Amino acid sequence: MALNTGKIVLRTGNFFLHLNRPHAPRLFSTSTCRAATAQSSFRIRSTGSRHALSTSSRILQETPSIPKETIDARKQTENGPDDNEAPRELPLSPYGGRFGVPEQPKSTKSIALAQANSKRSPFAKAKDEIKSKVNDWTDKEKNLETRKELLYDFQSGYFKEFSELSRAGSKLWKGTANMISADKALYMPNIIGTSLKTSEPVELVDILRGKISVVAISGTRFGEEQIETFMTPFLKRWPMGTRNSKIQLVELNIQENPLKAGLVRMMVPFVRKTIPEERHANYILHYKSIKHLKDSLSMQNSYLGYIFLVDNNCKIRWGAQGKALDAELQTLLDSVQRLSERAER
């Protein structure tokens, strides 16, 4: 191959070899030299067994330089975030670790029993109920509140929660270092659902009363994976199925979306197979909205999992969200042990 002393360009596949001098080759990509190749014309002359390749066009002399900031940005995109970068500092649980409602929950059975023992006739009770509904329909302020709630549900749907999850991450806040005292703690609200064991209606307050409970709430598989980081160490220390045990695990599967709730109803037999049998009695399926409880329980995102420690008086003593941190898990286990020791005194 005989090369003249001028500027020479050889094309091989998707690359150009630019020889400004025989000993100083430079390599260009096809995209870099697209304009140069469009203007270049090549011709091959045969001189026996030797060939010469020459060009009559002017080509690029130097490769365009890439800014250092662009190179660093590309490296960060390819390699991910820097390991030496400090993690995002998580805020503490909202309201200083106080979760729940101020009123002590009552089961509907006790309410119905109290109404049955009342001296008022059933006709008078039905009349009062109809009158109350009519007043609600004609009350302008209540109608405006209902309209605001509907507008809020429309604006804060699942897509908004998913975008918030992508922006803020799966850990929105962390639990406090210690459980809250009994005099400052609030009550766990009563939630009526369906028992996984019997498929009969069951109330949360009836399961919690008189026992120390770890309540795990989730509505997605992603949330279940998060709370499993709390449940697995807890169950290793206090396994379910022990007779006369005052410590228990209660699981709530909350399905607020009507379409998804219908699918979960059809998959109940599959859920029974995936959940150990000793946990069926304390596994509750809830197919309605709990928007009126989300603020009091600090459940801002339906995709995530939440964990609460409830004492034998149905008071929430501690709460956490997302995957368990080492400090959170230790606080949960120590708090359960402390409540258990106090109950035995």
When mean pLDDT is compared across 67-81, 184-198, 254-268, the lowest value belongs to 67-81
pLDDT of residue 86: 43
SS (H, E, C) the chain: CEECCCCEEEEECCEEEEEEECCEEEEEECCCCHHHHHHCCEEEEEECCEEEEEECCCCCCCCCCCCHHHHHHHHHHHHCCCCCCCCCCCCECHHHHCCCECCCCCCHHHHHHHHHCCCCCHHHHHHHHHHHHHHHHHCHHHHHHHHHHHHHHHHCCHHHHHHHHHHHCCCCCECCCCCCCCCCCEECCCCEEEECCCCCEEEHHHHHCCCEEEEEEECCHHHHHHHHHHHHHHHHHCCCCCCCCCEEEEEEEECCCHHHHHHHHHCHHHHHHHCCHHHCCCEEEECCCCHHHHHHHCCCCCCCCEEEEECCCCEEEEEEECCCCHHHHHHHHHHHHHHHHHHHC
Q: Is 143's pLDDT higher than 60?
A: yes
**pTM for the full predicted model:** 0.65
pLDDT of residue 2: 42
Distance of CA 324 to CAs 88, 162, 229, 238, Å? 16, 21, 6, 18
> Rounded CA gap, 180 and 99, in Å?
10
> Rounded CA gap, 114 and 238, in Å?
37
- pLDDT band, very low/low/confident/very high, at 167 (cuts 50, 70, 90): confident
pLDDT of residue 5: 45
When mean pLDDT is compared across 38-47, 228-237, 314-323, the lowest value belongs to 38-47
pLDDT of residue 116: 53
pLDDT digits (tens, 9 = 90+) for 249-283: 999 999 988 888 889 999 999 999 999 999 999 99
Mean pLDDT calculated for residue range 55-84: 47
pLDDT of residue 28: 46
Q: Is 202's pLDDT higher than 70?
A: yes
Strand partners, 284: 195, 252
pLDDT digits (tens, 9 = 90+) for 93-107: 777 778 999 988 888
Tokens of residue 319, six digits? 């709460």
- pLDDT band, very low/low/confident/very high, at 312 (cuts 50, 70, 90): very high
Distance of CA 293 to CAs 59, 189, 298, Å? 71, 8, 8
Task: Report the mean per-residue pLDDT for the chain.
Answer: 75
Q: Is 310's pLDDT higher than 90?
A: yes
pLDDT of residue 48: 43
pLDDT of residue 180: 92
pLDDT of residue 118: 56
